[in-house]
């Protein structure tokens, strides 16, 4: 089954404790992206990747890191989480471009205390 998986689905952590949210897709997609969803703001892009070892900042990259060492995986790293990073995070992938149909993971609900 074609899918995007994210782990964990729910995470409660404390300020400053490094964490990684994993994202994996099995569709051989080149384009992958991370979004955060906040009430009243919709989806905002954090980082995206056009292919292996090619990443770029989205609208809200501060406080986040990503890597794309393999085509299928695109982890999101919070080196020192802060309460303003409490949000719902989505990973997405598409064939080659942001205007191709993007397939989204189920989301990760992160709470930073």
Partner 1 sequence: DQQVKQNSPSLSVQEGRISILNCDYTNSMFDYFLWYKKYPAEGPTFLISISSIKDKNEDGRFTVFLNKSAKHLSLHIVPSQPGDSAVYFCAASDGSNYQLIWGAGTKLIIKP
Residue ranges binding partner 1 (CB under 8 A)? 4, 31, 35, 40-45, 48, 50, 56, 58-59, 90, 92, 97-99, 101-107
Min dist. Cβ of residue 105 to partner 1 (A): 5
Query: Which CB atom, from 43 or from 77, has the smaller least distance to partner 1?
Result: 43
Q: Which is nearer to partner 1, 42 or 69 (CB)?
A: 42
Q: How far is the CB of 15 from partner 1 (least distance, A)?
A: 27
What's the per-residue H, E or C state across the chain? CCCEEEECCEEEECCCCCEEEEEEECCCCCEEEEEEEECCCEEEEEEEEEECCEEEECCCCCCCEECCCCCCECCEEECCCCHHHCEEEEEEEECCCCCCCCEECCCEEEEEC
């Amino acid at each position: 089954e074609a899918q995007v998986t994210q782990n964990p689905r729910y995470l409660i952590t404390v300020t400053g404790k490094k964490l990684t949210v994993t994202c994996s897709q099995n569709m051989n997609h080149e384009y992958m992206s991370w979004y955060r969803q906040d009430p009243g703001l919709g989806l905002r892009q954090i980082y995206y990747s056009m292919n292996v070892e090619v990443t770029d900042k989205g609208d809200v990259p501060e406080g986040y890191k990503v890597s794309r060492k393999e085509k299928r995986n695109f982890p999101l790293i919070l080196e020192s989480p802060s309460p303003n990073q409490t949000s719902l995070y989505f990973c997405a992938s598409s064939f080659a471009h942001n205007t191709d149909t993007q397939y989204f993971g189920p989301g990760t609900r992160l709470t930073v205390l």
